[in-house]
Structures are given as structure tokens and as C-alpha cells.
Structure 1
């Protein structure tokens, strides 16, 4: 159900990834991240694809390191090489889905086109900054960096 009370049509669509990182599911994204029904499937697909590409770039060094250790696919990795492969795959998806939702939330006010849209965007707990932070936390977790990094200058 959407913010407006309209039922959300769940779309069974797979977003193909690069073969190393897991493929993404539009249905999983819609169900797990409560997306408003007002979003068109084309917009959802575009934002999910863009987020996937951005996260893949952020994780390029990690991918190279894991490939050097013999991992050809995160989901099917040998558990002796990548013992937490299921967790890593789920964390990757969280990074992408949260980044896509952050981008989509900034567009919601323009989609509904009501006077209350500006206030709605400011008052809702689902704010773009929150989901972008969730995405970055997931990326940092995959990189093994934790939530904060400090450097001695």
C-alpha cells in the first residue's frame, strides 16, 4: 500500500548485475523498502540500475581483492574463502536498495504534485539522507571499515 492508499503493483523483474555481485530483484526492492505506488516501473528500474552502478564503483577495490583470492561470484563463493557470503550478498543488496530509495525519495514530492508535498518530504521519517547513510554503512561494512574512519594527519 502506498502513502496515498493506492495498492502497489509488485513487479517481478530481475536487474542483471556484473556476474560477481548478486542480481537485484524489483519485487524484493518494492516489498522490502515500501515504495509508493506512484512510482513508474521505468523510474524504479532506472534508479535501481544507477544505484547498482554507483555501489559497484565504490566496491571495485574489494571486488578485485576477492577475485584475487579466487572468488568469482559472491553468492556462490567457496565458504572457506568467503565464509560470510550470504551476509555479504545481503549487505550488498542493502547498499544498493538504500541508495536507490534515497534517490527516489527526493523525487516523490514532485511526483505527487500537491501543496503538501514539500512539508510531507520534510516531516516523513523516510528521508533521503537516512537511506543514503544506510547505503554508505553497508558499503563500509563490506569494505571492512566499520562506521567511522579516523586518520592521523
Structure 2
């Protein structure tokens, strides 16, 4: 059995977002989602941008409604506070962070195509689904929608 220490992450950087939404500090995201230096900053930036695009599109109508109510930034939207932060800010970051990690897990599953790697990839599939579910729940919470979608056939 061998042990390979994960690489340390590169210098922290910030990904800027559109004016209404918060920017992303990569070091904070790494800590929150337990991402070590094996995920390069370039790959992390790509995953964060993709996740933010998805969440921003899902929340576009909500954002426009908030802006038409006079709120120029997410932090200005009236909301309950937990730990000194708006719940909307926390939910938004959760959605983006979860989609970022789901994207990274999916992309890193092609790293090892051996039988051991394929088994690990199957185990991570559930994790990806859980992350995508958590992101969807966070978005639905911002929109004030239920987590359950029922359709009659």
C-alpha cells in the first residue's frame, strides 16, 4: 500500500461574478468542499464558472424581480440572517459550491480507467447525485418553492 500526499493548492484567487451575485474566493470554496491541491486552480476556476452560470440562469427571473424592487446586490435583499449572513447568500453559495464539486467529481472519474478506478467512479456517482440534489434544493429554497415535484400521469 502506498501513500501519496495531496498537493497543496496554488495561490488563492477570486472569481468575479455578475454585479448582483457575490464573487467566489477559491480558498474558501476549497475549505468548504474539502478540495485539496490535486484540483488545480485552472480546473477549479472552470468548474466554478460553469456552476455559477447554471445557478445564475436558474435564478434569473428571481434576480430581475429583486432588482426591480430596488436591490442592486443579493446581500441587500431582505432575508433572515444566520451567522451574520443572509440566508439567500448562504443558499446561493451552497448551490454553486455543490454544482462545482459535482462537476469536478464527474471530470476526475476519467483519471483512472482501471477496474479499481471504475469501482471508485461508481461509488462517487451517488455523491454526485447528492451534490446536484443539494444544489437544486438550495435554488428552490431561494425561489420559495417546495423540494418536491409531483406530476400526475
**TM bucket normalised to smaller:** 0.7 to 0.9
Would you say the 8 A contact 1:38–1:111 is kept in 2? no
Q: Cα distance 1:121–1:28, how it changes in 2: closer, same or farther (>3 A)?
A: same
1:2-151 equivalent positions in 2, closer than 5 A: 5-9=5-9, 11-75=11-75, 77=76, 82-84=78-80, 86-112=86-112, 114-124=114-124, 127-150=127-150
Displacement, 1:38?
1.9
Unpaired stretches in structure 2, ≥5 consecutive residues: none
Mean Cα displacement is larger for which, 7-16 or 134-143?
7-16
Number of residues paired by the alignment? 147
8 Å contact from structure 1 (residues 38, 112) kept in 2: no
Task: Give 1:40 shift.
Answer: 1.7
What secondary structure is seen at the aligned counterpart in 1 of 2:6?
A: coil
CA change 1:10–1:93 in 2 (3 A) is: farther
Q: Structure 1 residues 94, 143: closer, same or farther in 2, change over 3 A?
A: same
Contact preservation (8 Å) 1:121, 1:127 = no
Contact 2:9 2:36 in 1 (8 A): no
Structure 1 unpaired stretches of 5+: none
